Structure 1
Amino acid sequence: MLVCALGAQHLKPGRFLADQRSAAKIEDRLPREFAGWKIAPVAGVLVNPQQDKLINSLYAEVINRTYVSSSGQRLMLSISYGRNQSDNLQVHKPEVCYPAQGFQVQSLNQGELRIDDQVIPVRRLETTFGPARPEPVTYWTTVGDHAVASGTDKKLQEMRYAFKGFVADGLLFRMSSIDPDSKRAFETHSRFAADLYAALGPAERRQLFGSLD
């Protein structure tokens, strides 16, 4: 029993992976303009104060931006970053938080987003807020520098970091747009992600997009 106790203590992570990253906030490292996209004034975004309070209590940084393309397409970007991806500080998934704000989830499907040599596991939702606001959503989650496809993958990555002595950080990267044509919206999300990936440096790419290696 003593050996087991000592072993468990030895494997208990004592360092935060977040402390190995740049001290600069993610928001400060995100470009405001790239590849024909630029930040636009926020308009028509629904806010639930209780939901915001919960999210802000879970995450070290929450970023919400609206980008508009040179052709007039608008895309809402949300990044929620947490220093500790333990069970009580998990990413707040859109299939949970959207209904909490009054949206209906019409469909939820797993998919893949291919950018260069990266294959990112994503989830795509079709949501509506009444007849006037159809909002397709694409999102993925990371643990450390790894995109995770499921709860099992998440646990495995957390364990791998724990064996190295680290408490893993992680984030939820969400894109959405108000568009009745879901196929067109998802294509816009994929194009935006690829354009952003090309505009970032290696460290930002690893943190925001992860990998599956």
Structure 2
Amino acid sequence: MTEEVIGREAAHAHLSRRNLLIGIALAGGAGIAYARQPAVANPVVPEKLFEAWVPPRFGRWDVISQSGVVLPPPDALSDRLYDNLVTRVYAAADRPPVMLLLAYNNAQDGVLQVHRPEFCYPVGGFELSETRDITFNAGGQSVPANIFTATAPNRVEQVAYFTRLGSSYPRKWSEQRLAVMRANLAGDIPDGMMMRVSALGIDRTQAQALLSDFSRQFIESANPRLQRLLLGRG
């Protein structure tokens, strides 16, 4: 065997060993990445079951309609953004009707995230006031929430809401994205829940008192499983 042939075979063997080592390293990296891939921790809630958890009446409040509530705008991801989307209008004697929207998705992965009302209302032709921080108190828990005024030519709506992602209650879109990123880095894909309540024909001061009290009664009267989705317990 000539020296030239021996040299070619040696080079080929060296190349094969190098390719093998690269292949092993890549496979190991892929295995580690797969093992650290965030996991969906919360099951999908069937639509009819979720709706059954929403009380038709509580305290002095009764459902009078399921329409008339401003909805998130449709888009290419609508069918995936919300596992559950429920609207109700409640009425009580001597109080303005309150419109309720509940939106839930079992997996918030950075691509699919619950729309915030500050995005939905302008799409519907509303002009928004500055959003102000408030707090809902329910079930012995303080929940960070927001309130703003949405104005259209024939409608002025006082809107309050909170969004829960995993164990966080982000008040801003940037906080919401950060909460998802932190959960994903910790190996978790959190669920997302939004509760929005609103009323017509009153000012923001009146609305804050009305909507805060309504929200407290609604959460405390809700099915325990819906209450856990709202408050993030269990």
Query: 2:43 aligned with 1:19, yes or no?
Result: yes
**TM-score with structure 2 setting the length:** 0.75
The structural deviation recorded for 1:36 is 0.7
- Any conservation in 2 of the 1:127–1:137 contact (CA below 8 Å)? yes
CA distance in 2, matches of 1:203, 1:184: 31
Structure having greater relative contact order (Cα 8 Å, sep ≥ 6): 1
Question: Map of 1:174-185 to 2, 5 A cutoff?
Answer: 174-185=196-207
Deviations 1:13-71 (A, max 9, x none): 23x333186886322101100011110135655678xx245644421111111111132
1:64 to 87, 95, 99: 87
Deviations 1:142-196 (A, max 9, x none): 1135433443465346644763x54222122111111241111121110111111
Check 1:154–1:116 CA distance in 2 against 1; reply closer, same or farther (3 A cut).
farther
Partner residue in 2 for 1:91: 114
Query: 2:64 aligned with 1:40, yes or no?
Result: yes
Greater alpha carbon shift after TM alignment, 75-84 vs 16-25: 16-25
**TM-score with structure 1 setting the length:** 0.81
Equivalent residues, number? 206
Greater alpha carbon shift after TM alignment, 3-12 vs 66-75: 3-12
Partner residue in 1 for 2:35: 10
- Any conservation in 1 of the 2:135–2:143 contact (CA below 8 Å)? yes
Greater alpha carbon shift after TM alignment, 82-91 vs 142-151: 142-151
Bigger radius of gyration among the two: 2
Check 1:69–1:162 CA distance in 2 against 1; reply closer, same or farther (3 A cut).
farther
- Which 5+ residue runs of structure 1 have no aligned equivalent? none
Aligned Cα RMSD in Å? 2.9
CA distance in 2, matches of 1:143, 1:99: 23
Sequence identity, in percent? 25
Partner residue in 2 for 1:208: 230
- Any conservation in 2 of the 1:124–1:139 contact (CA below 8 Å)? yes
CA distance in 1, matches of 2:71, 2:227: 29
